[in-house]
Structure 1
Amino acid sequence: MKKALFLLPFLTLLFFCCTPKSEKKEASGNINTISVIIDDQLWNGEVGDSIRNKFASPVIGLPKEEPLFTINQYPIRLLEGYMTNSRNIIVVKKEEENRFQLIQNEFASPQNVFHISGKTAASILNTIEAYAPEMIEKMRETEILENQKAIDTALANTQKITDKFNITLDVPKGYNMVMRRKKFVWFKKEITSGNTSILVYQVPIGEIKNGQNVANNIIRMRDSIGNLYIHGTARGTQMITEDSYSPYLFHIKIKGKETYEMKGTWELKNDFMSGPFINYTIIDRANKRALVLEGFCYAPSKEKRDLMFELEAIIKSVEFLKKKNRKK
C-alpha cells in the first residue's frame, strides 16, 4: 500500500510531462485592430504620440478621415489577460536592452506580437520610426488573410467570372451579379443604407501603357467604363473619378504580375452620390490584356475603412488559370 502511495505522485508527474501541450487558442478581435501593451507614462508622452501617428494615421483614398488601425491601449501588467488573444499586439517597455522582435503566434494563432524596448524614450522612438512600415505591412497582410478566411466559408457563384476572364475570385455570398457584358461583370451587395460593388473587366494593355501618364490613362479608362455601364437614375449621371482630389497610385505586384493600384473617390456626374474606390489594373502579358479588378462602395452614413478593406481582400484572392481552362 505504501509503495502504491509513493508511486502515485510520480505517475501523475509522468502523465503531465508526457501529455502534449494543447494547441494555441485562436486569435480574435475586430478587423484592423491593434492591442498596444504599454505603461501609461510612455503612452501619454512622445512614444504614445508616435504610435498613434504611425498606426492610426488616416487611410488614404477615403472621403473622410478614418484611422489605419483602431488602437486599444493596455498597461503592461495586463499582458497575460484577454488582449493576448488579439491578432496584432505591440508590446513597448523601458528595459536595459534596445530591441525589436516579431514573435508570431506567441499567445494565439494567427498572431503578430511586436516587442519594442529601449533604455530611453528616445531609443524607443527611433525603433518605432525604423520598423513601423515593416510592422504595418505585416499586420495588413495578416488582416487580409483573416478577411479572406472569413469570405472562404461562404462564396457566391462566380463561374461567369471564370468563364469570361479565366480567373477565380473569392466573392462572398450576398454579392449578386447585376450586369454582364462581353468583357465586363458587375457584382453588387446591398448593405444598410448603401451597397458595395466589385467590377471585373479587361482592356488592351496599350490603353494603360502607351508612353503617356499611367494615372491619367487609368482615370480615362474608369470614366469610360462608368459612362458605358454605371449610371444614376437620371440621364447624364454616369460614374466618374472625382477630380477635386487626385487619386493615389502605387506600382505593386499581384500574383507576380505588374499591377497599378489606384485609390480615390468616385461621384455620379450631375448627382450627389459619391464614395471611395480601389482599382487594381493588372498587366497580364500572358493573355495580352490589362485585367481590371475594382471595388467601390456607397455608404453615406457608415464608416468605410472596413468596407473597402473587405473589397481589397476579395480582389487580392484572384488566381490566374492556365489558358487551356478558358471557356469561350
Structure 2
Amino acid sequence: MKKIIKTVICIAALISAVSCMNNTKTLLPNVSGKAGEVIIVVGKDNWEGNLGNEIGGLLARDCEYLPQREPLYSLVNLSPGAFSDMFKLHRNIVIFNIDSTVVKQGVVYRTDVWAHPQCVIQVNASCADSAIVVLEKNGENITGAIEQAERNRVIANTLLYEESKLGDVVAKMIGGRVHFPVGYNLKKVTDDFIWIADEKQYSTQGVFIYKYPATDEDPFSEENIIARRNVFLKEYVPATAENSYMTTSVFVKPGIKFLKYHNLDFVETRGLWEVYNDYMGGPFVSHSFYSKDGKDIIVLEAWVYAPKYDKRQYLRQTESLLYSFEWDEDGNDGK
C-alpha cells in the first residue's frame, strides 16, 4: 500500500511539474537595437505632420546638461506595414494606434511583448489631433518608462558581471552599496571620499561617493550642494597641470530635482564639470540624500569625460549605476 501511495505521489508531482512547464511563458529572444534608440510605428503622413513634430519634441528634444546638443533618444520611424517581425525584437517601441473606431484613448505600457528586456508603449487615439493631446498629457510618463527600461538593462548587465569588491568598499563608508560592472577600478578611498572609474584610451566614466555632516541650514539647496561638491573635488581630484583640479562649471547653472526611487528620497543635481587651469570638462549628475541615521549627507555622483564622442550614452550608463544603490541590511561593515 505504501508503495502505491508513493507511486501516486510521484506521478502527481510529475503531472504538476509538466503542467507548470506548459504554463510557463515562452522564452523570448534578446532585444535588438542600439542603446538609446526608439522605434516609432506611425504612418508617414502623421510622421511628417504635426504629430511627428510632437513626437520629436518629446522624445528627440535636447538632452539636458550636455556640452554639445544631443537628442534625448535616437528615433527610427516605421510605417505599420513595415513593422515586420525583425523590428518587433527592438528594445524600445512606441506604436501609434490611430483609428476612428478607438473608444478608449490613452497609453498602454507593456514589457517583453516580443523580446526581452523590452519596452513597448502603445498610444491609442481616434485621430492625429487626439494623439497629440494624449502625448501632451502623458509625455513625461512615456519618457520615464523608456528611461527606466534603459536603466534597468544597464543594472541587469552590471549584476551579471559585477566587480563586487567595489561595492564592499562603498558599503564600508556609507552603509549601502553601488553595484559596478567589471572594468571599473578603485582610484582613491579616504574616510569620506571614494573615486571609482572605468578608464579607456579616449573616455572615462567615473563615480564619486562622498559624505559630510548634515549641518547646513538648507543642505539640499543647489548652492550648498555645489559648494560642498567643489570642496571635495579641489581636495581629492587633481588634474595633471600644476594647481589644477576638477570643479563645477560656472557657465551653465546646475539644476536640481527632488525625486524618489525605491523608497529613497534624494536630490538629483545636473550640471557640467571643468578643470581649473586646464582644458577638460564634461557632464555630471549626482544624487544627494540623508544617511540612515540622518547625521550625514551622502552624495553619489556620475561623470563622463569623452572629448571625441557623444556623451549621452556614456552618461546614461554611468548614471544608471547610481540607481543600483541599496542599503546594506547588516550594517556598514560592507561584508
Fold conserved (TM > 0.5)?
A: yes
Question: Which residue in the other structure is 2:70 paired with?
Answer: 66
Matched, 1:44 2:48: yes
C-alpha distance in 2 between matches for 1:212 and 1:309? 26
Question: Does 2:239 correspond to 1:232?
Answer: yes
TM-superposed deviation, 1:194: 2.7
Once the two structures are superposed, residues 43-65 of structure 1 have per-residue CA deviations (whole angstroms, 9 ceiling, x without a partner) of 11111111111001111111111
The yes-or-no answer on 1:264 pairing with 2:268 is: no
Paired letter, 1:148: I
Partner of 1:15: none
Matched residue, 2:98:
94
Measured after TM superposition, the shift of residue 119 of structure 1 is 3.0
Report if aligned partners of 2:169, 2:334 keep a CA contact under 8 Å in 1. Answer: no
Q: Pick from 76, 80, 100: which aligns with 1:76?
A: 80
Match of residue 197, structure 1, among 203, 206, 209: 206
Point out the more displaced range, 278-287 or 41-50: 278-287
Match of 1:155 in 2: 162
> Which whole-Å deviations, capped at 9, do the CAs of 1:93-119 have from their partners, x for residues lacking one?
330115322233222233232222333
Aligned mates of 1:325, 1:217 — CA distance in 2: 26
Distance 1:56 1:222, change over 3 A: same
**Per-residue Cα deviation, 1:118-149 (whole angstroms, up to 9, x for no partner):** 33221111111111111111111111111111
Alignment RMSD: 2.1
Which residue of 215, 219, 225 maps to 2:222? 215
Whole-Å separation in 2 of the counterparts to 1:237 and 1:300 = 18
Query: Do the aligned partners of residues 19 and 213 (structure 1) sit closer, same or farther apart at CA in structure 2, a change above 3 Å counting?
Result: closer
> Aligned residues, how many?
309
Amino acid at match of 1:44: E
1:183 match: 192
Segments of 5+ residues of structure 2 without an aligned counterpart are: 1-20
Aligned-residue sequence identity (percent) comes to 22
Q: Which runs of 5+ in 1 are unaligned?
A: 1-17
Contact 1:37–1:73, Cα closer than 8 Å, also in 2: yes
Paired residue type of 2:304: C
2:174/2:291 contact within 8 Å kept: no
TM-score by length of 1: 0.88
SS at match of 2:195: strand
Determine which of 13, 25, 32 is the counterpart of 1:28: 32
The letter of the residue matching 2:176 is: I
Query: What is the aligned partner in structure 2 of residue 298 from structure 1?
Result: 305
Shift of 1:151: 1.4
- Describe the shift of the 1:116–1:255 C-alpha distance in structure 2 as closer, same or farther (beyond 3 A): closer
SS at 1:108 equivalent = coil
- Residues 257 and 283, structure 1, Cα contact 8 Å, conserved in 2: no
Assess if the C-alpha contact under 8 Å between 2:173 and 2:332 holds in 1.
Answer: no
Change (3 A) 1:313 1:93: same
Letter in 1 for 2:175: N
Matched, 1:166 2:175: yes
AA partner of residue 138 (structure 2):
Y
Aligned CA distance change for structure 1 residues 117 and 293 (closer, same or farther; 3 Å): same
